[in-house]
Amino acid sequence: MSTVVLTAPLKGWVAPLDETPDAVFSERMLGDGLAIDPLGSTLHAPCDAVVVTVHRARHAVTLRAANGAEILMHVGLETVALGGEGFSVFVREGQAVKAGDKLLGFDLDLLAQRAKSLITPVVITNLDAFSIVRRDQDRAISVGDFLMELSPLGGAQVVASTSTQEISRAVTVPLAHGIHARPAAKIAETAKGFDAEIGLVVGARRASARSPVGVMSLAIRHGDDIDVVASGVDAEAALQAIVDLIEGGMGEGAPVAAPMAGKASAPAAVIESAPVTPTELPRDGVLKGVLAAPGLAIGKAVRLASSDIAVREAGEGVAHEEAALTAALAKVRAKIETNAAKGDKARKAILGAHLAFLDDPELAAGARRLIGEGKSAGFGWRSAVGGYVEALRGLGDRRLAERVDDLIDLERQVLRALSGEEDDTTVLPPGAILLADELLPSQLMGVDPGVVAGFATARGGPTSHVAILAAAMGIPALVALGGGVLSVEDGAALILDADSGTLRVAPDAPALEAAQTALAQRQSRKAAAKAAAHEPAITLDGTRIEVFANTGSVKDAAAAIENGAEGSGLLRTEFLFLDRETPPDEDEQARQYQAIADALDGRPLIIRTLDVGGDKAAPYLPIPAEENPALGLRGVRVSLWRPHLLKTQLRAILQVKPPQGQKRGQCKIMVPMIASLDELRAVRAVLEEAQRELGRELGVTERVALGVMIETPAAAVTADLIAAEADFLSIGTNDLTQYVLAMDRGNPELAARIDALHPAVLRMIDLTCRGAEKHGRWVGVCGGLASDVAATAILLGLGVTELSTTASIAPEVKAQVRSLSLDACRALAQQALQQTSPEAVRALAQAFTKTGA
């Protein structure tokens, strides 16, 4: 392995890295190098190399030199926040570049106004294998001038040059559902970490491992024998990584003998591959479909026909069309990222899958090939996507066919962006029930849930992304109604009873009346609950239950108060820490916590310490890539890994002042993802240190309550040990359910089955309550189960005395509490613990509510 000389990628002033006003660089957390204060606006390659990554926000590029050295160039500081504005990219990942080639362009004036600093660190990130043997600094430089020389450390592996010989390994696929969308995305993600060309081969068909869509379209099933092939510099390692990934099963074991209960077991026959043609309505006007999202709606039909987007075939020059495609992809990417930032978990997971498809190199390469042949960007994109749509539809696999919607959605979004057309802006009348052949996720995300009463589609599947979104938005929905739904007249009266799987067209007076009564009962229950939202929640036998709301901002705190919540049982502080390049300092945190405490006007506020890691990445925390992030460095593990972050946060929390005239104690502290008592002790030690530093008394009156979130099975089964030292326990049922059931909470494929009312989860809650009782500690629930009115009686019966809900549901939870007697709840809870499935628990809870507490 040879030395490599890096030349200046920018014109400017070169300085030591220590002068970078950002600890991530100045403390060399990412590696050693130099910093350039730029006078030019183009970043060039400092040596011959391959582009490893171009950051999504286009402000940073990593290259790998021929000898294996990895060079990160980061234009300006905190420029990620510009979301790509002011930057243009001249290269793509995987591309080979020569020293001096243009990599990025940027608007120097815009950066000067909007970025924290223009300083551009150039950092070698794999210093375990290289050292900087010569460097030039503290002088003006021009592009191409000498910058530094890197030399390999002794014993480092020689990187083979450009071996084109292909190696291969046979694998039998153990994944229960074969290689569908999610495993395909994982394979692509892993493949992108290598330079080698990696492919999967099934019979005569082959796809690049970097292309999730290509891999999906191979329709690899459980038990299939496939070959993994690789060629190039790191072919051996790449091959091994992909083989390990597939053989490891990616968390999807062997198939179960019988189909699982619930939505996922819907018949495969409901998926139609081609557009459905209208058929006659049945005589009784009742169409039968498959439940996609529960609820009852009465409204008027609004037919949605997706207009065809016209696309010219001939291009206007390769450069023009290439640029148009790049810009359109960037525009769609930015829109998806913005939507994901505002959304709930389900929406985020779905949009994450869309981003993986959008990044699929095969799709873009397919479009670019056609552009190179003189076609327009739109024609190229439509053809590239269309090929995969046909392939997926032709596979006869229900789960893969459901992903077709996602591809069509992306096809349309990119075509719209290319045509400069704005999104569909059909104005919908209130109470609209949307009828369509199919509905796309982005169409549903664009509607106002206050206006749309429901939707029904001719095609579609119950586990499609649009179904999951509808459930998250509270919109009742049916899918797979067949061609009849396309014959319904615009404006026709409809009753959509998603729970019974029926769409009644032009109902007669008695049917309408019955539906109206049922709906009115539901609505009046809601209205009565809202009217009594500010009354306390006291059970029939006189026990007060605290109903709190979860918060993440001042706005959430205001919503909590408006809905009658009596405090906040979970402040998710990580929202302050994400989407930025440096963590908030003590003052900023103290100001934010104070503002939320003030908005709650003295009501209790339980502040959870930083819960990043897993699916919540913070760019300034260099958490190494993990195969199982949900089981990796997250929650309290991150806080104890970086204790200065924890101390800063605890100091900020301790500074929150109570409203005038009130004693301290409004704020309690809660620690996420605890797996053993030692972690709580370590946090308490940091807390006591922070108190001492702030000169706080450690007497009983000053003792800030420190509680624990029960989110791991380990914490639940040792709750008696933890409660001996924790001041309270609050159950995070979202994570607890994921870990007890071994089902990823962010996996849309599992969304229909991951139910916190599973008896196994209830047994964990039971253990937690019994452990806490031994030490006289209270137990709350702040995960999603607290917001599920069907679960309230069971939770109370198990011993929970605080519920921290989504603000909007707090009135209904309070109303539910008022209708219950604790004795009856206890009996119900004991029965629930003996059930064998979540469905059975739900049926039991429903019967209990009907017959009265």
Q: Which residues of the shown chain bind ligand PEP in the complex (CB under 6 A)?
A: 570, 572, 611, 711, 732-735, 782-783
The yes or no reply on residue 735 touching Mg ion (CB under 5 A) is yes
Smallest gap from residue 733 Cβ to Mg ion (A):
9
Cα(196)–Cα(234) distance, integer angstroms = 5
Q: State the DSSP string of 569-637.
A: EEEETHHHHSSSSS---HHHHHHHHHHHHHHTTTS-EEEEPP--BTTB--TTS-PPP-S-GGGSSBTHH
Q: Which helix (H) or strand (E) holds 645?
A: helix 643-654
Q: How far is CA 802 from CA 28, 47, 729, 730, in A?
A: 45, 61, 10, 8
Query: Quick one: what does residue 837 bind among Mg ion, ligand PEP, none, with the CB cut-off 5 to 8 Å set by partner type?
Result: none
Cβ 786 vs Cβ 767: under 8 Å: no
Cα angle 327, 352, 330; round to 5: 5
Query: Quick one: what does residue 733 bind among Mg ion, ligand PEP, none, with the CB cut-off 5 to 8 Å set by partner type?
Result: ligand PEP
Beta bridge partners of 299: 494
Smallest gap from residue 630 Cβ to Mg ion (A):
10
Q: How far is CA 556 from CA 552, 582, 596, 606, in A?
A: 6, 24, 9, 14
The yes or no reply on residue 746 touching Mg ion (CB under 5 A) is no
Query: Quick one: what does residue 566 bind among ligand PEP, Mg ion, none, with the CB cut-off 5 to 8 Å set by partner type?
Result: none
Nearer to Mg ion, 382 or 608 (CB): 608
Nearer to ligand PEP, 330 or 782 (CB): 782
* DSSP three-state, residue 54: strand
Smallest gap from residue 569 Cβ to ligand PEP (A):
9
Q: Look up 782 and say whether it is catalytic.
A: yes
Nearer to Mg ion, 679 or 735 (CB): 735
Nearer to ligand PEP, 285 or 732 (CB): 732
Cα(576)–Cα(552) distance, integer angstroms = 8
Beta bridge partners of 98: none
How many C-beta atoms lie closer than 10 Å to residue 14's C-beta?
22
Beta bridge partners of 495: 298, 504
Nearer to Mg ion, 26 or 734 (CB): 734
In the bound complex, which residue of the shown chain has the CB atom lying closest to Mg ion? Answer: 735
Smallest gap from residue 734 Cβ to Mg ion (A):
5
Smallest gap from residue 105 Cβ to ligand PEP (A):
39
Cβ 100 vs Cβ 12: under 8 Å: no
191 φ, ψ to 5°?
-60, -35
Cβ 602 vs Cβ 658: under 8 Å: yes
Task: Show Cβ contacts of residue 474 under 8 Å, excluding neighbours closer than 6 positions.
Answer: 293, 295, 449
How many C-beta atoms lie closer than 10 Å to residue 28's C-beta?
16
Query: Quick one: what does residue 609 bind among Mg ion, ligand PEP, none, with the CB cut-off 5 to 8 Å set by partner type?
Result: none
Question: By CB under 5 A, which span of 81-89, 278-286, 408-416, 709-717 interacts with Mg ion?
Answer: 709-717
Cα angle 408, 409, 415; round to 5: 85
How many C-beta atoms lie closer than 10 Å to residue 626's C-beta?
13
Query: Quick one: what does residue 613 bind among ligand PEP, Mg ion, none, with the CB cut-off 5 to 8 Å set by partner type?
Result: none
DSSP 678: H
The yes or no reply on residue 321 touching Mg ion (CB under 5 A) is no
Nearer to ligand PEP, 206 or 348 (CB): 348
Cα(553)–Cα(561) distance, integer angstroms = 13
Smallest gap from residue 711 Cβ to Mg ion (A):
5
Q: Name the active-site residue from 44, 55, 59, 465.
A: 465
Nearer to ligand PEP, 734 or 808 (CB): 734
| Residue 597: both structure tokens together | 């405490």
Q: Name the active-site residue from 47, 667, 769, 782.
A: 782
Smallest gap from residue 200 Cβ to ligand PEP (A):
34
In 275-340, the DSSP E strands lie at: 286-288, 290-293, 296-303
Query: Quick one: what does residue 409 bind among ligand PEP, Mg ion, none, with the CB cut-off 5 to 8 Å set by partner type?
Result: none
* DSSP three-state, residue 848: helix
Cα angle 520, 548, 762; round to 5: 85
Question: By CB under 5 A, which span of 40-48, 402-410, 705-713, 800-808 interacts with Mg ion?
Answer: 705-713
The yes or no reply on residue 732 touching Mg ion (CB under 5 A) is yes
Q: Look up 825 and say whether it is catalytic.
A: no
Question: By CB under 5 A, which span of 150-158, 348-356, 417-425, 731-739 interacts with Mg ion?
Answer: 731-739
Cα(168)–Cα(211) distance, integer angstroms = 18
Nearer to ligand PEP, 666 or 733 (CB): 733
Nearer to ligand PEP, 181 or 740 (CB): 740
Query: Quick one: what does residue 572 bind among Mg ion, ligand PEP, none, with the CB cut-off 5 to 8 Å set by partner type?
Result: ligand PEP
The yes or no reply on residue 771 touching Mg ion (CB under 5 A) is no
Nearer to ligand PEP, 272 or 711 (CB): 711
Smallest gap from residue 738 Cβ to ligand PEP (A):
8
Q: Which residue has the tokens 């083979």?
A: 160
Nearer to Mg ion, 22 or 711 (CB): 711
Query: Quick one: what does residue 438 bind among Mg ion, ligand PEP, none, with the CB cut-off 5 to 8 Å set by partner type?
Result: none
Smallest gap from residue 614 Cβ to Mg ion (A):
9
| Residue 133: both structure tokens together | 């043997």
Cα angle 824, 828, 831; round to 5: 145
Smallest gap from residue 551 Cβ to ligand PEP (A):
12
Query: Quick one: what does residue 481 bind among Mg ion, ligand PEP, none, with the CB cut-off 5 to 8 Å set by partner type?
Result: none
Smallest gap from residue 804 Cβ to ligand PEP (A):
8
Beta bridge partners of 766: none
| Residue 700: both structure tokens together | 């009983």
Query: Quick one: what does residue 782 bind among ligand PEP, Mg ion, none, with the CB cut-off 5 to 8 Å set by partner type?
Result: ligand PEP
Torsion sign (Cα): 288, 293, 295, 299 = negative
How many C-beta atoms lie closer than 10 Å to residue 639's C-beta?
27
| Residue 672: both structure tokens together | 């996420």
Task: Show Cβ contacts of residue 843 under 8 Å, excluding neighbours closer than 6 positions.
Answer: none
Q: How far is CA 766 from CA 69, 543, 758, 822, in A?
A: 54, 19, 12, 15
Q: Per-residue x/- mask for Mg ion, residues 230 to 259, rule CB under 5 A?
A: ------------------------------
Instruction: Enumerate binding residues for Mg ion (CB under 5 A).
Output: 711, 732, 735
Q: Which residues have a catalytic role annotated?
A: 465, 782
